[in-house]
């Protein structure tokens, strides 16, 4: 169950979930290799480790938002930046997962994305469907990338 924000500054903000988990769907694009599935699972584990290091998902997403807001250029309109950066917990987690997948990709990171919902591939993209659970509520997402790209890590994970 989602927990209410606790500080005075956050009282009007969204309620943020405290935990997340995932489940990779067994049905996926036939050209997706075991190594690519493993890469996606490793990125989920990496994100999970970052969440644990922050304390919980609520704190992780709050820290992520604060970092993004701190990096807004001074000449940008803060109201617009806030509206652009403040997402629902589900969308913020999807964005963080997408960035983790892209950041660690060996090649073609700009062509890898995580789409809300389940995407049906018509042959041009490889797709791995999974569910992200935020406090036991399932949110479907699809990891998509070009069919001719091998999704793998740039360097071995430490």
Residue of 104, 101, 92 lying closest to 139 (CA atoms): 92
Q: pLDDT per residue over 60-99, tens digit each?
A: 999 999 999 888 888 888 888 888 888 888 999 999 999 9
d(CA 131, CA 15): 20
> What pLDDT band is residue 1 in, cutting at 50, 70 and 90?
very low
Pairing of strands 20-24, 125-134: antiparallel
Least confident of 7-21, 80-94, 107-121, 141-155: 7-21
Strands 137-146 and 113-116 turn out to be antiparallel
Query: What is the tens place of the pLDDT at every residue in 28-55?
Result: 888 999 999 999 999 999 999 999 899 8
In contact, 23 and 76? CB cutoff 8 Å: no
**Mean pLDDT (whole number) for 9-18:** 41
């Amino acid at each position: 169950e989602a927990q209410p924000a606790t500080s005075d500054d956050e009282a009007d903000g969204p309620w943020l979930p405290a935990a997340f988990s995932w489940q990779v769907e067994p049905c996926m694009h036939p050209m997706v290799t075991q190594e690519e599935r493993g890469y996606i699972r490793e990125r989920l584990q990496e994100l999970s480790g970052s969440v644990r290091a922050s304390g919980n998902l609520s704190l992780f997403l709050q820290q992520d938002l604060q970092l993004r807001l701190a990096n807004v250029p001074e000449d940008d309109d803060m109201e617009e930046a806030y509206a652009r950066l403040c997402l629902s917990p589900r969308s913020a987690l999807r964005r963080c997962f997408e960035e983790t997948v892209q950041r660690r990709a060996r090649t073609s990171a700009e062509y890898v994305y995580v789409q809300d919902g389940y995407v049906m591939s018509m042959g041009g993209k490889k797709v791995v469907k999974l569910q992200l659970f935020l406090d036991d509520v399932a949110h479907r997402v699809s990891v998509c990338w070009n069919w001719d790209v091998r999704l793998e890590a740039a360097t071995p994970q430490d």
